[in-house]
Amino acid sequence: MSSAPSIPSFHEPLPIDVFLESAVHTYIYDDLRQFEHAFLYFFKERNLNFDRPVALLADSSDELVFLIASCWRLGIPFVTIDAGLSAREQSQYLQQVRVELIICDQDPEHPDFSCPTVHISRFALAKILKPDFTPEPWVKDHKKNINPDQIFGYFFTSGTTGIPKIVPLKRRQVLYGAKASEANIDPGRNQLWLLSLPLHHVGGVSVILRSLLYGSGVYRMDTFDISRVTELLDKKQHMVAASMVPTMLKRLMKRGDFSVHDHFMAILLGGGPLDGTLVDECFNRGIPVVASYGMTETCAQIAANPLMTVGDLSRPRESVGQVFSPNRIEIRDESAQALEEGDSGQIWLKGPQVFEGYYQTKNQGCFFDRDGWFNTGDYGHLNHRGELFIEARRTDLIVSGGENVSPLEVEQALRKVAPVQEAAVVGVPDEEWGQKVVAAVVAKKGQHIDPDAIRQKLRSKISSFKVPKQIIQLDAIPRNKTGKVLRDKVQESIASRL
């Protein structure tokens, strides 16, 4: 009988090493240690419950990074909420999770805030950090009670096609994911990982947590500034990694001067469908990329395909790689029966990186089988080496006339047609087909969209049932803050034009 894999461990960062850098400030791990002392004292002084989450409702700032890092190091669960949501949406999110404290950059007396609330300025780094700090033993004693099976955070799924669900994530999921990620990107002391992703998504938070475990540093940006990122990745020798979604990388690749310095490790690419054309362009220009697959439920990436060297043909560039050991993957049909190598079906996952169920959801059987396998709802296939190829994400799959249509496949074909700059494909209810395939496209500058001509070109590239019945031109494809296509908004835009 095989024993359970041991939970990965990491060394404590050195106090003198860089923890966080931003446009005008640099902080070391000793600053973080001092901040977490003040934060823990704040909790204990008010007799707050360490088992209930802290809601962090604020735009990106150095203080927000310190708060997330301190919550992790002190074993205090947290939930990050998008400060850009409307007051009504914020209130709905807060009501779904029973929080102990709200830390916000808004009015703490907001009528919808029904629990203790403090302004983030209460934790201003300029007020807390002093030159004569001495660690106290009671903080170290507090940390002894932290264990890998504790929930470290609650995350809302993106909600691009429905009401967001709440995903509780445990510390062990971060530990396993970080250890596996080391094989591809392993920044060392005083090396930096670029953070420009939103901190209300697990992808952004993961940059902070991995850096804490590796003992490396984070470079925080308020927003994704293309000119500044281009400069950092080319000139700043200690900037060795960056996390991006495909939309960000596409914008960078449009610049003729975008390159990376010789010591740069890789761009971790996730959070959206893998565009083979984009990967090819990076490959040919010498931009090292790690294409990954993951979701909130797996605490970000759970599979990765390192595409590091020009001319390396050992890995298929359309793949997101193998699932990290000791996690396991199966491709199953609609009856949950395992399929053979190369057959397309639903992606099922099991292992220490996979969550255990949605928060306050009674019928978990919709998502897990009896043996604990999680049905991601995504579609794909495995090759003979166990490398995963994503065909469609979750509820994006279109069923038209009994045939499964992957929006990703059709979108990739559309982008290869000359006048098309961007494309989003959705299923629209139809009496004859059940769903009909409809495409929203954005034309390249100065080009004209001819739907019939595009459809004709597509017939030589994809099966006829996958060719959009209609093609609608838009000025822009609706996306969320991480660049994911908002398919419900696309459907609304299409419906208003049909």
Quick check: is 125 in a domain?
Answer: yes
Length of the chain: 498
Quick check: is 81 in a domain?
Answer: yes
* Alpha helix ranges (H) inside 11-86: 29-45, 62-74
pLDDT at 194: 98
DSSP state of 196: -
Asked if 389 and 403 sit in the same domain, the reply is: no
Token pair recorded at residue 55? 């809601």
Q: Do β-strands 345-350 and 374-382 pair in parallel, antiparallel, or remain unpaired?
A: antiparallel
Asked if 120 and 145 sit in the same domain, the reply is: yes
Asked if 375 and 408 sit in the same domain, the reply is: no
pLDDT greater than 70 at residue 342: yes
pLDDT greater than 50 at residue 303: yes
Residue 374 belongs to domain with CATH number? 2.30.38.10
pLDDT greater than 90 at residue 270: no
pLDDT greater than 80 at residue 112: no
Asked if 390 and 402 sit in the same domain, the reply is: no
Distance CA 297, CA 312 (A): 32
pLDDT at 420: 93
pLDDT at 287: 94
> What is the rounded average pLDDT of the residues 362-376?
87
pLDDT at 118: 94
> What is the rounded average pLDDT of the residues 265-274?
84
pLDDT at 6: 87
1-5, 88-92, 411-415, 471-475: lowest mean pLDDT where?
Answer: 1-5
pLDDT at 246: 84
> What is the rounded average pLDDT of the residues 340-347?
94
Quick check: is 467 in a domain?
Answer: yes
Residue 188 belongs to domain with CATH number? 3.40.50.12780
Asked if 360 and 468 sit in the same domain, the reply is: no
Residues 6+ apart with CB under 8 A from 387: 305, 315, 316, 319, 320, 321, 322
> What is the rounded average pLDDT of the residues 128-135?
92
pLDDT at 120: 97
Quick check: is 335 in a domain?
Answer: yes
Q: How many domains does the chain have?
A: 3
177-186, 280-289, 355-364, 417-426: lowest mean pLDDT where?
Answer: 355-364
Strand order of the β-sheet with 470-473 is: 420-430, 434-443, 470-473
Quick check: is 6 in a domain?
Answer: no
Quick check: is 57 in a domain?
Answer: yes
Asked if 41 and 112 sit in the same domain, the reply is: yes
Asked if 404 and 383 sit in the same domain, the reply is: no
pLDDT at 345: 93
Q: Which of 190, 223, 256 is the last residue of a domain?
A: 223
249-265 pLDDT, tens digit per residue, is: 988 999 999 999 999 99
> What is the rounded average pLDDT of the residues 449-471?
90
Asked if 75 and 206 sit in the same domain, the reply is: yes
pLDDT at 462: 84
Helix (H), strand (E), coil (C) string for 315-374: CCCCCCEEECCCCEEEEECCCCCECCCCCCEEEEEECCCCCCCCCCCCCHHHCECCCCCE
Quick check: is 447 in a domain?
Answer: yes
pLDDT greater than 90 at residue 440: yes
pLDDT at 255: 92
For residue 378, the enclosing domain spans 322-394
> What is the rounded average pLDDT of the residues 261-288?
87
Asked if 170 and 49 sit in the same domain, the reply is: yes
> What is the rounded average pLDDT of the residues 376-394?
90
Distance CA 378, CA 349 (A): 11
* Alpha helix ranges (H) inside 258-406: 276-285
Asked if 104 and 166 sit in the same domain, the reply is: yes
Token pair recorded at residue 217? 């540093």
Asked if 349 and 466 sit in the same domain, the reply is: no
pLDDT at 383: 96
Asked if 109 and 75 sit in the same domain, the reply is: yes
Q: Which of 198, 223, 248 is the last residue of a domain?
A: 223
Beta strands per DSSP E along 201-317: 217-220, 239-244, 266-269, 289-295, 300-307
Mean pLDDT of the chain, nearest integer: 90
Closest CA to 233 of 295, 274, 275, 285: 285
> What is the rounded average pLDDT of the residues 155-178?
82
Q: Which of 223, 241, 273 is the last residue of a domain?
A: 223
20-60 pLDDT, tens digit per residue, is: 999 999 999 999 999 999 999 999 999 999 999 999 999 99
Cis peptide bond prior to 326, omega within 30° of 0 = yes
Q: What band does 159 get if pLDDT is binned at 50, 70 and 90?
A: very low
Quick check: is 255 in a domain?
Answer: no
Distance CA 305, CA 283 (A): 13
Centre a 10 Å sphere on the Cβ of residue 414 and count the other Cβ atoms it contains.
Answer: 26
Indicate the burial class of 429 (C-beta count within 10 angstroms; 0-12, 13-18, 19 or more): exposed
Token look-up 């060297």 returns 309
473-487 pLDDT, tens digit per residue, is: 999 999 887 778 888
Residue 450 belongs to domain with CATH number? 3.30.300.30
pLDDT at 446: 87
pLDDT greater than 50 at residue 323: yes
Kindly state the percentage of the chain with pLDDT values over 90: 66
Q: What band does 448 get if pLDDT is binned at 50, 70 and 90?
A: confident
